A and B are shown apart, each in its own frame.
Chain A
Amino acid sequence: MSKRVGIEVSLAVAEAVKLADADVVAAYPITPQTHIVEHLSELVADGELDAAYIPVESEHSAMSSCIGSSAAGARTFTATSSQGLALMNEMIFIAPVLRTPVILAIANRALSAPINIWNDHSDIMSVRDAGWICLFAENGQEAVDMTLAAFRIGEDPQVSLPVSVNIDGFTLSHFIEPILLPDKAEVDRFLPPFKPVIKLDIAQPISVGLLAPPESYTEARKATDDALLASKAVVKKAFDEYEAVFGRRYQVVESYRVEDAETVIVAMGSIAETASIAIDEMREAGQKVGLVRLRLWRPFPAEELAAALSAAKNVAVIDRHMVLGVDNGPLGLEVKSLLYDAPNRPRVFNYVLGLGGRDVTRDDFRDIAARVSSSQGVQTRYEIVGVLA
């Protein structure tokens, strides 16, 4: 039976990694992720988790160690944030092509410059094209559930890809929440032992990490993309199995009060919970608004999102990252691209907010709904909500 405990979300994520019985944790501390690996270090030192904890000298080495240990057949976990993810960058792009299912928790934080330790999505968005499966959690319970699901998804022999679990820094990572922590028997029913597809084995040697000349580089990239796109079916299957074991239902795209909604807000991460309260309040006031939340960011759930937005007249896409030099944020670009060929193409508005830890409240979503309903034409460039210009 699961047990409800009051626990800091970072520690709960570490407990989930313990429940998954990870073999190797290689990590470097960085705010606001530190508590995750700090607690894992304690669990290993106290003998509660039988794993190798590698206290590396940088995030680049952390991800290098993780790729190596995963290729050696070990269930592997690490965590980072912001500049740490940036320092991992070179290795982040290597793990997917090598098909090493490293699990990475990212306590999402703004990228420098200027230096800022608080929450937005610029870290993960800077590596969105790397080939990782990317999951987003809305609250502490989901952070735990997505961490467990990540092992199940990434290690599936059909997938064998790394997975990032995105947890809003501070907003989630540092809050104490009531969380249902599963017991080990439940986790064992959901998560089979790791049977690696790629395995460095002295008895059956292989070479990993090869050079590809012009005659095979394109084919190797395509093979990785094919695997990433095909992983969506396994993500859905894993969510079904999660529900069967733990009773909590997750979908790659989740809709809230979108029936008859004229304006649908699209968001990711913890602000979607804030948005859902604002939707309730606006609905009570008679406004036809709804919410669509992406749990799965990569592979991009195009069909599911298109279906969720099929009846909307207006779509308001929320981004917590700017793509400098382009008229839309990363999610805004994806949604516009997705809907270009839609039969009843809605108007798409793109709003950037909550950068570098700036608070996002219900008022912001009421403001967005008001901006959309008062707009007569189309929006040519994203608007920033809450900027002193």
Chain B
Amino acid sequence: MKKPIEAIVKAGDLPVGFTAQPGSTVAFKTGDWRSVRPVLDREKCIYCGFCYYYCPDGVYQDMGAEKWYKPDLDYCKGCGVCAHECPKKAITMTLEEV
């Protein structure tokens, strides 16, 4: 049996110079190789915003009136900076399990 080719684009269809248009990650989710994800204990959360400001990928969204910050798991890489910086230890990095 012929092995299927693990390619997402034909060589001939690539843009010259392997460039990309801005905003390509809207379509291309970059969080799928995460091994752990942040899980928030809202009981402990004081809505200080450290997770929002420290996140190197800017995946946290300010939930406003609900007074918490929600990570967009389509883009979170699971680095754990938010959990490390959280002054109330309200974020736990939890293993991703299939």
Chain A residues proximal to chain B, CB less than 8 Å? 97-100, 160, 197-198, 205-208, 210, 212, 214-216, 218-220, 222-223, 226-227
Query: Does A207 contact B11, Cβ atoms closer than 8 Å?
Result: no
B54-74 vs A, Cβ < 8 Å mask (1 yes, 0 no): 000000000000000000000
Query: Does B18 contact A226, Cβ atoms closer than 8 Å?
Result: no
Say how far B97's CB is from chain A's closest CB, in angstroms: 23
Query: Does A100 contact B6, Cβ atoms closer than 8 Å?
Result: no
Query: Does A216 contact B16, Cβ atoms closer than 8 Å?
Result: no
Query: Does A206 contact B18, Cβ atoms closer than 8 Å?
Result: no
The residue on B at minimum CB distance from A196 is: B17
Of the residues A98, A197, A219, A227, contact of B9 by C-beta under 8 Å: A219
Task: Collect the chain B residues with CB atoms within 8 Å of residue A160's CB.
Answer: 16-17
Query: Does B20 contact A207, Cβ atoms closer than 8 Å?
Result: yes
Distance between Cα atoms of A33 and B77 in the complex (Å)? 47
Distance between Cα atoms of A207 and B22 in the complex (Å)? 7
The residue on B at minimum CB distance from A98 is: B17
- With contacts defined as CB atoms under 8 Å apart, how many contacts are there between chain A and chain B in the complex? 58
What are 23 sample pairs from A and B whose C-beta atoms fall under 8 A apart?
A: A97-B17, A98-B17, A99-B16, A198-B16, A198-B17, A198-B19, A205-B22, A206-B19, A206-B21, A206-B22, A207-B24, A208-B17, A210-B18, A215-B6, A215-B7, A215-B8, A216-B7, A216-B14, A218-B7, A220-B11, A220-B14, A223-B14, A226-B11
Known pairs A207-B24, A223-B14; A216 contacts B19 (CB<8 A): no
The residue on A at minimum CB distance from B19 is: A206
Query: Does A216 contact B17, Cβ atoms closer than 8 Å?
Result: no
Say how far A155's CB is from chain B's closest CB, in angstroms: 13
Distance between Cα atoms of A205 and B23 in the complex (Å)? 10
Query: Does B11 contact A219, Cβ atoms closer than 8 Å?
Result: yes
Task: Collect the chain A residues with CB atoms within 8 Å of residue B18's CB.
Answer: 97-98, 210, 212, 220, 223
Task: Collect the chain B residues with CB atoms within 8 Å of residue A198's CB.
Answer: 16-17, 19
Which of B8, B11, B17 has the most A CB atoms < 10 Å from its CB? Answer: B17
Known pairs A215-B7, A223-B11; A197 contacts B16 (CB<8 A): yes
Query: Does B12 contact A207, Cβ atoms closer than 8 Å?
Result: no
The residue on A at minimum CB distance from B21 is: A206
Query: Does A219 contact B10, Cβ atoms closer than 8 Å?
Result: yes
* Residues 17-52 of B at the A interface (beta carbon under 8 Å): 17-22, 24
Distance between Cα atoms of A99 and B14 in the complex (Å)? 12
Task: Collect the chain B residues with CB atoms within 8 Å of residue A212's CB.
Answer: 18
Distance between Cα atoms of A359 and B7 in the complex (Å)? 52
Task: Collect the chain B residues with CB atoms within 8 Å of residue A205's CB.
Answer: 22
Distance between Cα atoms of A160 and B19 in the complex (Å)? 14
Task: Collect the chain B residues with CB atoms within 8 Å of residue A222's CB.
Answer: 11
Query: Does A210 contact B20, Cβ atoms closer than 8 Å?
Result: yes
Distance between Cα atoms of A215 and B12 in the complex (Å)? 14
Task: Collect the chain A residues with CB atoms within 8 Å of residue B21's CB.
Answer: 206-207
Apart from A223-B11, A227-B16: 11 A-B pairs, beta carbons within 8 A: A97-B17, A99-B17, A205-B22, A206-B19, A215-B8, A219-B7, A219-B10, A219-B14, A220-B14, A220-B18, A226-B11
Of the residues A97, A210, A223, contact of B12 by C-beta under 8 Å: A223
Say how far A102's CB is from chain B's closest CB, in angstroms: 13
Task: Collect the chain B residues with CB atoms within 8 Å of residue A215's CB.
Answer: 6-9
Task: Collect the chain B residues with CB atoms within 8 Å of residue A207's CB.
Answer: 19-22, 24
